[in-house]
Amino acid sequence: MLSSVLHSERAAMVNIAIMRTFVRLRQILATHKELAERLTAMEKKYDQSFKVVFDVLKQLMEPPPEPPKRPIGFTSSGKK
């Protein structure tokens, strides 16, 4: 937000880079959605012999699971 308020050349360049990044991110998300739709259409078209291939592709398209979060703050072991 600050890059759009400041009136320097560098702030303008940063603002343009931020906007291009968000446009590219939107394009990537749209492509991912389109790929998922195409994969679903192909899965309906072909018989069960390709089921394993489609299952593996679905697993590869899923985001990785988030690692477990550590508790914030002080924790005692309970032993004194």
pLDDT of residue 78: 63
Confidence of residue 17 (pLDDT cuts 50, 70, 90): confident
Whether 4 and 22 have beta carbons less than 8 Å apart is answered as no
SS3 per-residue string spanning the chain: CHHHHCCCHHHHHHHHHHHHHHHHHHHHHHHHHHHHHHHHHHHHHCCHHHHHHHHHHHHHHCCCCCCCCCCCCCCCCCCC
Confidence of residue 65 (pLDDT cuts 50, 70, 90): confident
Please compute the mean of the pLDDT values over residues 31-53 and round it to a whole number. Answer: 75
